[in-house]
Amino acid sequence: MPDAAQALPEAQTAAAAPWWLGASIYQIYPRSFLDSNGDGIGDLPGITARLDHVASLNVDAIWLSPFFTSPMRDFGYDVADYRGVDPIFGTLADFDALIARAHALGLKVIIDQVWSHTSDQHAWFQESRQSRTNPKADWYVWADAKPDGTPPSNWQSVFGGPAWTWDARRQQYHLHNFLNSQPDLNLHNHAVQDAILDVARFWLDRGVDGFRIDAINFSMHDPLLRDNPPASGNHKRTRPFDFQRRIHNMSHPDIPGFLERVASVMADYPGRFTVAEVGGDEAIAEMHAFTAGSKRLNSAYGFNFLYGEALTPRLVADALAEWPQTAGTGWPSWAFSNHDAPRAASRWHGAWDHDDYARLIMLLLVALRGNIFLYYGEELGLTQAEIGYDDLQDPEAIANWPLTLGRDGARTPMPWAAELPQAGFSTAKPWLPLGADHAARAVDRQQADPQAMLQWTRMLMALRQQQPALKRGSADVAVATGDLLILHRALGHERLVCAFNLGAEPIFVDLAIGTPLASHGGASARLLPPFSGLIAPCA
């Protein structure tokens, strides 16, 4: 596996760099992309039918959120069979057809892998819970009650309440960092690691090009089951989970050793890619540990932007600074929106025009050093949908209503045809309602409009492909003061200036640039109007 930091900025020709270095990756939430069989739920054949649209965006790859066999308590992140496709999404043959079509269009395919926990319907857990002596007895995290019958530690679940649930069969508690129906695997057990690595090989053998590894820092716990200390400071607290420093139920120092085993498997499949999702208070240290050197994961992304309340130059500068461009340091990935966070333009635009702001942040996204993730619908400028309580599906939103509005508003159906029922997503009532203004933003309407957000996105993604300095070059923050952000991107002899005004007042500048390659909001070498930006070669 190449060391990403050493692959830049000097290497570099496009042929010498791995495909994933600086890749643009389009995330598809399968339930919400396209329903091909009229049951109101998106599926794999629906995705395959619309891959031409994805390819037209000039991205490198797609990332599929889970489509595995599942009771859907957490909409696929509770896996009951790692090797199966849930019938609501189709079959393994449908998945193979999707892979074949994507590859024919030049798209790589990355799939989610959920290795920290399974569903309680998984055959492994069903066996493990039967006794303390069966072959899989130690495949999950079991512990005796305290003498007074209370849970073994004070650990709290992300979704609210204790992270322990009593099981009468074993007369023990099982650990679950998420729903009580999502028991934690015991990845300290090498037999469990072996089984997970076999799952990885199964999908690699089917042709997938990489994995996005979900919640990997939750994959190992403190075997001593020590209590978490209380959190300090005045940060927002809406769940018991927020009242603790989560230093014992997650983030164990043995996780990087397991990831080296993962990397060893990936090395047998040249050209494959791994990226970890890492959240929490210690995210940056963990991301560095998980991607250090050349024998762990290729990349990682955290929640700098996904949970950022406001987009500022300082936020961008601080995020980039967390990934120094030194040998041995990993390669970052960035997302402004995904299935776990409200859509970025709706979060950040404030009193400014939403659509104008969506264009600005798309321009900024393509200027960042690292891989970039584009969430389905971002190319259309979809707004965050308002979902009433009666329509909620997200278990987190239901459990914490109304303080946590949840994730459903970012998971609504993709609008394809403005005049068709359900905007062309389905012929039936969809699993979530469409956003009120989403039909007006449908693909068919924007396809016919040369000034639409869809065309802007296609142009910007093509620009990133055409400019090696954007895709894999170095990045220096020249200015991050007030509302002004200026980045310098460079690779070999290529030098680019990326300048942004992220505020509501004009900023006069003196940029030594040539003709802009992309400009938004009337930005020029002398003036950056409110919420404007440009990417241009150095003069």
- Find where tokens 């891989």 sit: 371
Tell if the pTM clears 0.85, that is, is over it.
yes
| Residue 489: HSE in the Cβ half-sphere, 13 Å Cα cutoff | 25
The pLDDT score that the predictor gives to residue 362 is 98
- pLDDT category at 236 given cuts 50, 70, 90 is confident
- Identify the pLDDT of residue 261: 98
pLDDT score recorded for residue 405: 59
Q: Out of 2-16, 155-169, 306-320, 405-419, pick the least confident.
A: 2-16
Q: What is the pLDDT of residue 14?
A: 56
Across the range 514-539, mean pLDDT stands at 98
Can you tell me the distance from the alpha carbon of 49 to that of 98, in angstroms, rounded to the nearest whole number? 9
* Residues labelled catalytic: 214, 277
User: CA 343 to CA 346: how far, in whole Å?
Assistant: 6
Summarize the confidence of residues 390-398 as an average pLDDT: 85
The answer, yes or no, to whether residue 237 has pLDDT greater than 90, is: no
Query: Which residues, other chains included, contact 222 with Cβ-Cβ below 8 Å and sequence gap of 6+?
Result: 247, 248, 249, 252
* pLDDT band at 409; cut points 50, 70, 90: very high
Lowest mean pLDDT among 11-15, 350-354, 396-400, 451-455: 11-15
Question: Which among 366, 322, 360 is positioned nearest to 344, based on CA atoms?
Answer: 360
Taking residues 178-200, report their average pLDDT. 98
431: closest CA among 43, 78, 28, 26? 43
Q: pLDDT exceeding 90 applies to what percent of the chain?
A: 89
pLDDT tens, position by position, 27-80: 999 999 999 999 999 999 999 999 999 999 999 999 999 999 999 999 999 999
pLDDT of residue 4: 38
Quick one: pLDDT at residue 13? 54
With 60 as the cut, is the pLDDT of residue 10 above it? no
* 417, 423 contact by CB (below 8 A): yes
pLDDT band of residue 402 (cuts 50, 70, 90) is: confident
pLDDT tens digits, 285-300: 999 999 999 999 999 9
Catalogue all structural domains in the chain, each as residue range(s) with its CATH number.
Answer: 5-118+189-464 (3.20.20.80), 474-537 (2.60.40.1180)
Looking at per-residue pLDDT, the higher value among 395 and 167 belongs to 167
User: What is the rounded average pLDDT of the residues 508-526?
Assistant: 98
Tens of pLDDT, residues 373-387: 999 999 999 999 999
Q: Please enumerate, as own/partner, the contacts of 168-174 that have beta carbons within 8 Å and a separation of 24 or more.
A: 169/129, 169/130, 169/131, 170/129, 170/130, 170/131, 170/132, 170/142, 172/132, 172/142, 172/143, 172/144, 172/145, 173/142, 173/143, 173/144, 173/145, 174/129, 174/140, 174/141, 174/142
Cα distance between residue 138 and residue 128, in whole Å: 7
pLDDT score at 2:
33
> Cα angle vertex 76, ends 396, 383, to 5°?
60
Q: By the 8 A CB rule, do 78 and 186 touch?
A: no
pLDDT band at residue 5 using 50, 70 and 90 as cut-offs? very low
- Band of residue 450 on the pLDDT scale cut at 50, 70, 90: very high
pLDDT at 332 over 90: yes
Average pLDDT, the chain: 94
Cα 86 to Cα 103: distance, rounded to the nearest angstrom: 23
- pLDDT for 15 equals 61
